[in-house]
Structure formats: C-alpha cells, structure tokens
Amino acid sequence: MWKALKFCVLAAVILALAWWVAGLPGEVNANAGDYQISTSTPVALLLVLAVLAVLIMLFRVLGGLRRAPGRFSGWRGGRRAQAGELALQRGLVAVAAGDASGAKAASVKARSLLGDTPFVQWLNAEAARLSGQTEQARLAFERLTQSKEMKFLGHQGLLRESLKAGRADEAAKQAEAAEEAYPGGNWTRRQRLTLAVRDGNYAAALRLTQEPQERTALAVAAAEKAETPKLALEFAKQAVKAGPTFPLAQAALARALRGLGKERAARKTLLKGWKSAPHPALAALWFTPGASVLERAQAAALLAAENPGHMESELLLSETALTAKLPGEARRHAEAALKAGNADGRAAAILAKLDGEPAPAIAPAWRCTACRAQLDEWSCACPACGKVGTLTPNRPSTALTTTEQG
Ligand SMILES: [Zn+2]
C-alpha cells in the first residue's frame, strides 16, 4: 500500500519535472572552431545528464579494475586459511587417535598453509612425540613455551617427556612451570601429586588432594615418616578424619599418641578402631611388649570384646589361644572365624596346625581396588598401578573360594 503510494508520488514528481524541462524556453548554442551546434534548452539538459552518467560509469569500472588484485589475493588468503584450519582439525583428531603418520602429514600441511603459528608448533611437537622422535618433540615443545597463550601445552609436553625418560628433577621443574602457566589446573595438580609420592614427600602430596581415600593413605604415610611425634600426631589425626574406618589410620593415631606418652588415649583409640574396623595392625599395637602368652590371651579377650563375633576378633582369640597352648579354645575360635567368613587361609592354617596337617597358603593381606593386585605389605601408592590410596584389606570371599575349589 505504502509502496504503491510512494511510486505514484515519485512518478508524479518526475512527470512534473519532465513537463517543466520540456517547457523551458530558449535555445543553447555551442561553438567549436567552425562548428556550431544549436539546440533547444530541454535537449541540451538531457545531453549534459547523459554525459554525466557515462562519466560516473567509467570511473566505477576503473576503480573496480584497480582493486581487483587485492580482492583476488584476499580470496586466495581466505582459501589458504580455510585449508590450514582443516589440516589443524585433522591433525588434532590424529593426535587424539594416536595416529603418528596422520598427525605428521597434517602438521606439515598446516605449516605450509599457515606458517609457524603456536597451534602448528603444538601439532608438530605432538606428531614428533607420537612417532617417537623424542629430541624433535622436546625442541618443539620448548619453542611452544615461548607462546603467551599456549605455553602450558609446551610445559605439559616437556613434563610428559621427562617423566617418560625418568628425569624426576626436570619433571618437577616443568610441573612448576605448568602450574605457573595455568594456575589451579587439575592435570598439573595430579602430576605434582604423583611426583611428590614418587619422591616420598607425602606431606606435600597431601596438600594436593581433597579425595578422602588419597588423603587417608597419604596422611598415614606422612605420619609414619614424620620427624617429630607432634607432627606424626597431626598427620594421624588428618588420616582418621579422612578415613575413620581405615584400620591403619587408627593404628597411626594410636602410635602417635603413644609416641607422645599418651598411653591411655592410645589404648582408647585402639579399642575404638577395633570396634569400627578390626585389623591385625591394631592388635599388634594392643599387646604390651614382653607380655607373657597368658597375658596376651587375656589382652586379646579385652580387645575382641569390642567387636564380638567378628572374623578378626575370632582369629585374634584363636591365635593367642594357640600360642598359650589352649588347643580347644584355639579350635573353637578358628571354626568361628571360618563361620564368620574368613577365607584368606588364616583360620584354616590354625586348624591344620592343630590337626598336624600341612598348612594351606595364606592370601596376601592387601588388595588394590584399582588393579586388583594382591600385596603382602601396605603402601601409600599401589606398587603395581601407582594409584594412591587404593590398597584395602584383602578379604577373599567364601563364595569365590568354593567356586575355585569346585
Ligand atoms: Zn593397583
């Protein structure tokens, strides 16, 4: 509606103008040498307009021709950038897939199209790392550490390389630099934790994790290694706080209290620990050194009373009865332990001894929840898979043993 109205108004104006021009009186004369042109005013005006239109068109064409090379190179540059971006994408996928030759090809192509940008440098470094060209990878990662935005990736690469080569000092330096380049990053924190554990610096490792299982194990290890009894108590308390039912945490607390001369508190801790998670490590601390076999049997009864009927209580009573030469008691408690689910061979070994038969093998005391390795000794990090805080008392199930025997 508006469009139609506008068109009508415009047409009317043009018509009126044409009418006015056509009606202009007089004539225009132009002299050039011997030639003389004379025409009416409206025709002369039209001629001037036509010449102006031709001139404008001519200028436009000339300007377009002048800008053409720039436009062409811009178009070519855009195409190069696009192809380079595609090469980077392919390289990134190849790195993620662990395809060394694919990453190498993409990195060469990306460099020829985009030049030596930090992203291209990273791709080049990863391609070298994947194809096992350690020195080339190291140099490329080192160059990447000069980039303001991507220096973290440079330090990350160097850290990985030094860990692989077993250069712990260099790895620690790179971990620090990576932390500086990207503060608070989770990946860097895990690497620093692994390095601290490897160094036996459990107190430092403890500061790097909030995970309760890891904190428990690290605090137990830190308490064992503490230089003063006071420090040991501090770590032991942290261990109990993070893992109240982990027997070694309670054992560490009892040991630390005893180290400070707080015997009563130590014994209270052991009783409490036995109640929540009975374990031979607690029993070992419970007995007074140099006690007679009968005294040990009496002490065992006191501890076992905290958790009557538990497999560990029955085993403790059976073992002390055996050393106190009370075979009836020893048998009764060993059988009770079996009934309570003991399947690691300890109860069976006592019974075999009482019957004068060869003792069966006893299962390792610890098991890794991550890699299922079975170990005789506890350690803060699993010696098989390196994970921290994954060792737990090994409790083979009766069901599994029956299946294996059947
Ligand atoms: Zn493991």
Which of 305, 225, 233, 312 is CA-nearest to residue 265? 233
In a domain, 182, yes or no: no
Query: What is the 377 CA–ligand 1 centroid distance (Å)?
Result: 13
Tens digit of each residue's pLDDT (9 = 90 or more) over 80-95: 889 999 999 999 999 9
Q: Are residues 353 and 299 in the same domain?
A: yes
In a domain, 215, yes or no: yes
pLDDT at 40 over 90: no
Query: Which of 32-36, 223-227, 345-349, 359-363 has the least mean pLDDT?
Result: 32-36
In a domain, 110, yes or no: no
Looking at per-residue confidence, does 14 or 257 come out higher? 257
pLDDT (0 to 100) of residue 402 = 41
Mean pLDDT of 257-283: 96
- For residue 148, the number of C-alpha atoms closer than 13 Å in the C-beta half-sphere is 0
Dihedral angle, C-alpha 270, 275, 280, 286, nearest 10 °: 30
Mean pLDDT of 166-175: 89
pLDDT (0 to 100) of residue 401 = 43
The mean of the pLDDT values for the chain is 90
Q: Side chain identity at 90, as an amino acid letter?
A: R
Last residue of some domain: 362, 380, 398? 362
Q: Are residues 294 and 268 in the same domain?
A: no
Alpha-carbon distance 374 to 216, whole Å?
A: 20
Query: What is the 313 CA–ligand 1 centroid distance (Å)?
Result: 28
pLDDT at 109 over 50: yes
Alpha-carbon distance 182 to 184, whole Å?
A: 7
pLDDT (0 to 100) of residue 390 = 97
Chain centroid to CA 298 = 51
Q: Are residues 349 and 374 in the same domain?
A: no
pLDDT (0 to 100) of residue 76 = 83
Q: Which domain holds residue 338?
A: 287-362
- Asked whether the beta carbons of 121 and 147 are under 8 A apart, the reply is yes
Q: Are residues 307 and 245 in the same domain?
A: no
Q: How confident is the model at residue 305 (pLDDT cuts 50, 70, 90)?
A: very high
Query: What is the 211 CA–ligand 1 centroid distance (Å)?
Result: 17
Q: How confident is the model at residue 398 (pLDDT cuts 50, 70, 90)?
A: low
pLDDT (0 to 100) of residue 353 = 94
Which of 219, 227, 178 is CA-nearest to residue 197? 219
In a domain, 96, yes or no: no
Query: What is the 389 CA–ligand 1 centroid distance (Å)?
Result: 9
In a domain, 83, yes or no: no
pLDDT (0 to 100) of residue 69 = 72
Query: What is the 370 CA–ligand 1 centroid distance (Å)?
Result: 5
Mean pLDDT of 48-62: 86
- Assign 270 to helix, strand or coil: helix
Mean pLDDT of 222-250: 96
Total domains in the fold of the chain: 3
**Domain CATH code at residue 253:** 1.25.40
Query: What is the 170 CA–ligand 1 centroid distance (Å)?
Result: 26
Q: How many residues does the chain have?
A: 406
Query: What is the 279 CA–ligand 1 centroid distance (Å)?
Result: 21
In a domain, 2, yes or no: no
> In angstroms, what CA-CA distances link 350 with 168, 281, 315, 337, 354?
47, 19, 9, 11, 6
Q: Are residues 262 and 223 in the same domain?
A: yes
Concatenate the DSSP letters of all residues of 325-337 into one string.
Answer: T-HHHHHHHHHHH
Which of 334, 288, 285 is CA-nearest to residue 312? 334
Alpha-carbon distance 405 to 401, whole Å?
A: 6
pLDDT (0 to 100) of residue 11 = 74
Q: Are residues 298 and 350 in the same domain?
A: yes
In a domain, 34, yes or no: no
Alpha-carbon distance 158 to 166, whole Å?
A: 12
Q: Are residues 392 and 367 in the same domain?
A: yes
Q: Side chain identity at 376, as an amino acid letter?
A: D
Q: Are residues 372 and 341 in the same domain?
A: no
Query: Which of 63-77, 157-171, 270-284, 389-403 has the least mean pLDDT?
Result: 389-403
pLDDT (0 to 100) of residue 249 = 97
Which of 222, 272, 214 is CA-nearest to residue 247? 272
Q: Are residues 322 and 372 in the same domain?
A: no
Tens digit of each residue's pLDDT (9 = 90 or more) over 358-381: 989 999 999 999 999 999 999 999
Q: pTM for the complete prediction?
A: 0.71
Q: Are residues 305 and 251 in the same domain?
A: no
In a domain, 133, yes or no: no
Query: What is the 225 CA–ligand 1 centroid distance (Å)?
Result: 22
Q: Are residues 390 and 400 in the same domain?
A: yes
Query: Which of 17-21, 174-178, 257-261 has the least mean pLDDT?
Result: 17-21
Alpha-carbon distance 128 to 158, whole Å?
A: 13
Alpha-carbon distance 250 to 253, whole Å?
A: 5
Q: Are residues 292 and 355 in the same domain?
A: yes
